[in-house]
Amino acid sequence: MLHLPMGHSYPSLPPGYQKMGIPPSPLAGPVQLTPSMAGLSLQSQTPEALRVVNLLQERNILPHGAVPPPTPCLPQDLQKFNCSPEVFRCTLTSIPQTQSLLNKAKLPLGLLLHPFKDLSQLPVVTSSTIVRCRTCRTYINPFVTFLDQKRWKCNLCYRVNDVPEEFMYNPVTRSYGEPHKRPEVQSPTIEFIAPSEYMLRPPQPAVYLFVLDVSHNAVETGYLDVVCQSLLDNLNSLPGDARTKIGFITFDSTIHFYNLQEGLSQPQMLVVSDIEDIFIPTPDSLLVNLSECKELVQDLLKALPQMFNKTMETHSALGPALQAAYKLLSPTGGRASVFQTQLPTLGAGALKSREDPNQRASAKDIQHLTPATDFYKKLALDCSGQQVAVDLFLLSGQYCDLASLGCISRFSAGSVYYYPSYHHQHNPSQVERFQKDLKRYLTRKIGFEAVMRIRCTKGLSIHTFHGNFFVRSTDLLSLPNVNPDAGFAVQMSIEENLLDMQMVSFQAALLYTSSKGERRIRVHTMCLPVVNSLSDIFAGADVQAITGLLASMAVDRSVTASLCDARDALTNAVIDSLATYRSSVLTIQQAGLLAPSCLRLFPLYILALLKQKAFRTGTSTRLDDRVFAMYQLKYQPLSYLMPMIHPVLYRVDDLTDEGALNINDRTIPQPRVLQLSVEKLSREGAFLMDAGLVIFLWIGRNCSSSFLSQVLGVPNYSAVPQNMTRLPELDTAESVRFRAFIGWLREQRPFYPVLHVIREESQLKPSFMQNMIEDRTESALSYYEFLLHLQQQISK
Amino acid sequence: MAFTFAAFCYMLALLLTAALIFFAIWHIIAFDELKTDYKNPIDQCNTLNPLVLPEYLIHVFFCVMFLCATEWLTLGLNMPLLAYHVWRYMSRPVMSGPGLYDPTTIMNADILAYCQKEGWCKLAFYLLSFFYYLYGMIYVLVSS
């Protein structure tokens, strides 16, 4: 671990690497030129996105604040109807006309979606007829063309359809004869209430089953108290209606069911010890109606933590418990939340510890990234067929083979939550995180028995999907549960050349049952221009989306081939695309590592990925941590994923209101984003690093005492407590400002990032320093060295 | 005409190759059904997986027969396919039962395309070997 003396700047910059005095203006998105004009590439007309940047010379490539997504080059009247980039993003905002052109550009083509995101404004349409194209079944959207008042042309298959009579009347404006003014044609994101043709069976009620590990290890960690308390607090806010059902299963070496039938004076526990052939002891009253049996449920939740206090059972029969959960839920479908604290040791699906602690820091390949058994995958597929989703909460200090256990969630559209070394006394920050995450998990919106279909214009086709779901057919994803925090990605290829087309469209349609038993369809439509020159393709590249898609592809590659292959593939992605830029797009050859302005962050993000927990070699990484990082790369939507890949560093001891945002009467300061290098840290300041799942506050040794006293409430540096995770709520202006800033950062994501205050000698300092990706470590290159390596490879 | 052991081997191989051709056609139809969304991948894999090992074992069986009948040319022609089968089975995804196809990955367009190509190539190979064994059998029967 390199310990750099603070106060000295990083070893003097290599020659040619000058510090720019004034950073370039933040990227405001490409100038709104039509694609043909951009193709002229006259120097005076080069859009901002194609401005040549010599990465070896320009140091300050990060914008002042967040990196804005690029705007597609569409005419203004179409662009205003386009889908929000928070919901639907494409790696290339200008689609190449042919597959050979795409291959030449050496950039991946794909979509990143966040279809069920919580939206503040969502138009909902209740209509007797949902207008869809006759051949391709696309929903009518803002990008169709109306040939005359009575006919419309589909933008995905170009079929001409008739406008139904009912559609001619616009209920919003009470006018007739203007179908293009209807809400379906005015908003790219819309929700329909689906009639009965869209139901395979009557909409299911919300059914929640909680499967809890009660072995000795589990009781030791103390998680049961948190879960039961959280459930008691949020029982009334569980999404659902009068038909909502709830049930509980606990397990150690036997499975325990709870009879909660209305009329019983207290919950009755039924123990099934035959775990080889699990059966349900009573046909009903294990899953009971929540509103009718609420007192019994509350009694059970109050009694559960004490019931297993003295347990000496050390075995865990997770496989049979999951089979029991599946049997219980398969008549209706629903959600099973599984809490596990150790390796399952009994019954079907028992796992062995495969991690070799000596291999954690291996500079070569990492083994055991694939599941050890297909028991969990097969069970997940069975669950998926019965509309049951399984969410896994892993709260363990030891190796739990997350690579095998995670399969139960990955293919049943569940989510995986991981709290390493969870303990109610030794690790209070994890407890806080667990509590807040549980609250969000229990109360967030949920959709049941869902399917999602992604359609694209004729000529484009989707070939690979990334995310937690089961692919039921070539473009149909089966999602037993859909939640607002899940992201999806797809890779596309161009099957037929897109000649004679100015634009292509993509539509994602999510058909689900809401928690109130209503069948709904959420439709998102996006439209992008088609271009036929390489420079236009590069001008429209979305560097964050490209990074996100490459991360998912690299995770797949590390599992099917090897981790080293995946790392090489990531580096080659940068090398190939920049080499193409240099040879085919640049008109004037200059020395140095040249990149277009829109891709200037590409090498930085790839280096960040190579140093991320999922892909790093040479640094000791626990196997479960690595596998969880890989799952996050495939599961998280892009906006929550980016801080996990490239953490954001701010200086916070001198926050001002200059340039601050005003949201809900709170002033939120907007400090400048700094490069992730120890060179930017200084002993006199305090720095905040937002790394997605965790926020670090690093205090310099000579930090101003005014900051320490007014924000942290301590008189001097040595009084800062060792494991501080909370900020005192002081009345000072600095404290208010600082807490507003942290609150704003926390609001941007659904999971709860813990705040860690770090001093010089803190135990967490290595984790903080590992995020300084621009610096050199024993096992990895610094950013500048990486750039030199790229330049060398490109010039070959 | 002498009815030697070699002739018997060729006759048996002829019959078994007919079975292998049937398997190859079944595979082609199955992948086409998957591609056109006619069938569920889980059901389709459950039908295809039990057929994999029998196909490989039949092929191994008549390779062993040719070894015993000292028909070196025929054995040599079947060696590449044997090696390919061994490699394919070694690099299959983690599965508790026999088989090569995993419903969660089979809908990937590259894997689907690979399996379809594999089906067609095998069909061509088995058809050619059918006629070769027919010729071989007649040759062995006639030249005694």
Tokens of A634: 């495939």
| Helix residue spans in A288-374 (DSSP H) | 294-307, 318-329
Nearest to A289 by CA among A325, A334, A242: A242
Tokens of A38: 């951009």
Q: pLDDT by residue (tens digit) across A35-68?
A: 444 444 333 445 788 888 888 888 888 988 889 8
Q: Quote the mean pLDDT of chain B.
A: 90
Q: Note whether B98 contacts A: Cβ–Cβ < 8 A.
A: no
CA distance A441 to A483: 9
Q: Give the bridge partners for A320, in sequence order.
A: none
pLDDT at A473: 85
- Rg over alpha carbons for chain A, rounded to the nearest Å, is 27
Q: How far is B31 from chain A (nearest CA, A)?
A: 12
Pick from A411, A464, A473: CB nearest B108 = A464
What residue in B sits closest to A466 (Cα-Cα)? B108
Q: Note whether A476 contacts B: Cβ–Cβ < 8 A.
A: yes
DSSP state letters, A460-497: EEEEEEESSSEEEETTEEEEEEE-TT--EEEEEEESS-
What residue in A sits closest to B39 (Cα-Cα)? A473
Tokens of A609: 């990925």
Give a three-class secondary structure readout of A663-721.
Answer: ECCEEECCCCEECCCHHHCCCCCEEEEECCCEEEEEECCCCCHHHHHHHHCCCCHHHCC
- Is A183 in contact with A189 (CB distance < 8 Å)? no
Residues 6+ apart with CB under 8 A from B143: none
Q: pLDDT by residue (tens digit) across A181-233?
A: 888 899 999 999 999 889 999 999 999 999 999 999 999 999 999 999 999 99
Tokens of A65: 């604040």
Q: pLDDT by residue (tens digit) across A110-148?
A: 999 999 999 988 999 988 889 999 999 999 999 999 988
Nearest to A459 by CA among A99, A136, A88: A99
CA distance A711 to A580: 50
If you search the block for the tokens 């696309």, which residue do you land on? A138
Cα–Cα distances in angstroms (integers) from residue A776 to residues A3, A162, A779, in the given order:
11, 64, 8
Q: pLDDT by residue (tens digit) across A286-339?
A: 999 999 999 999 999 999 999 998 889 899 999 999 999 999 999 999 999 999
Supply the range of the domain harboring residue B47. 5-143
Mark residue A421 as left, alpha or beta (left: phi above 0; alpha: psi -120 to 50; beta: remaining).
left
pLDDT band (50, 70, 90) for residue A20: very low
Tokens of A91: 């790696």
Q: CA triplet A722, A726, A732: central angle to 5 degrees? A: 110
Choose, out of A367, A382, A409, A472, the residue to mutate when testing the contact with B (most B CBs < 10 Å). A472
DSSP state letters, A120-185: S---EE--S---B-TTT-PBP-TT-EEEETTEEE-TTT--EEEPPGGGGEETTTTEES-GGGSHHH
All residues of chain B having their beta carbon less than 8 Å from the beta carbon of residue A464 are 108-110
CA distance B69 to A410: 52
If you search the block for the tokens 């179908």, which residue do you land on? A179
Q: pLDDT by residue (tens digit) across A444-482?
A: 999 999 999 999 999 999 999 999 999 988 889 999 999
Q: Quote the mean pLDDT of chain A.
A: 88
CA distance A488 to A113: 5
All residues of chain B having their beta carbon less than 8 Å from the beta carbon of residue A473 are 34, 37, 40-41, 107
Single-letter residue type at A226? V
Q: Tell if the CB–CB gap between B104 and A373 is shorter than 8 Å.
A: no
Q: Tell if the CB–CB gap between B109 and A371 is shorter than 8 Å.
A: no
pLDDT reading at A540 higher than 50: yes
Q: Note whether A411 contacts B: Cβ–Cβ < 8 A.
A: yes
Tokens of A136: 């391709």
Tokens of A7: 């106060």
CA distance A405 to A349: 9
Q: How far is A372 from chain B (nearest CA, A)?
A: 7
Domain tally, chain B: 1
pLDDT at A695: 93
Pick from A375, A381, A463: CB nearest B103 = A381
- Segment (H or E) for B64: helix B41-68
What residue in B sits closest to A561 (Cα-Cα)? B91
- Tell me phi and psi for residue A191, to 5 degrees: -125, 130
CA distance A249 to A251: 7
Q: How far is A377 from chain B (nearest CA, A)?
A: 9
- Is A413 in contact with A468 (CB distance < 8 Å)? yes
pLDDT at A227: 95
Single-letter residue type at A23? P
pLDDT reading at A379 higher than 70: yes
All residues of chain B having their beta carbon less than 8 Å from the beta carbon of residue A476 are 37
Residues 6+ apart with CB under 8 A from A291: A242, A244
Beta strand residue intervals within B31-84, DSSP E: none
Sign of CA dihedral A46, A47, A48, A49: negative
Q: Note whether B40 contacts A: Cβ–Cβ < 8 A.
A: yes
Q: How far is B73 from chain A (nearest CA, A)?
A: 36
All residues of chain A having their beta carbon less than 8 Å from the beta carbon of residue B95 are 374
- Is A216 in contact with A345 (CB distance < 8 Å)? no
CA distance A517 to A447: 9
Buried b (16+ CB within 10 A) or exposed e, A654-674: ebeeeebeeeeeeebbbbebb
pLDDT band (50, 70, 90) for residue A342: very high
Helices A543-560 + A638-645 axis angle, to 10: 80
Q: Mean pLDDT check: name the lowest of A235-239, A382-386, A628-632, A662-666.
A: A662-666
Q: pLDDT by residue (tens digit) across A414-451?
A: 999 999 989 998 888 889 999 999 999 999 999 999 99
Give pLDDT tens digits along chain B (144 positions): 567 888 888 899 999 999 999 999 999 999 999 988 888 899 999 999 999 999 999 999 989 999 988 888 989 999 999 999 999 999 888 888 888 999 998 888 888 999 999 999 999 999 999 999 999 899 988 886
If you search the block for the tokens 């009903």, which residue do you land on? A284
Pick from A371, A463, A476: CB nearest B109 = A463
CA distance A23 to A35: 28
Q: Note whether A562 contacts B: Cβ–Cβ < 8 A.
A: no
pLDDT at A44: 40
Average pLDDT in the A511-519 region?
94
Q: How far is A112 from chain B (nearest CA, A)?
A: 17
pLDDT at A25: 38
Neighbours of A12 (CB within 10 A): 7
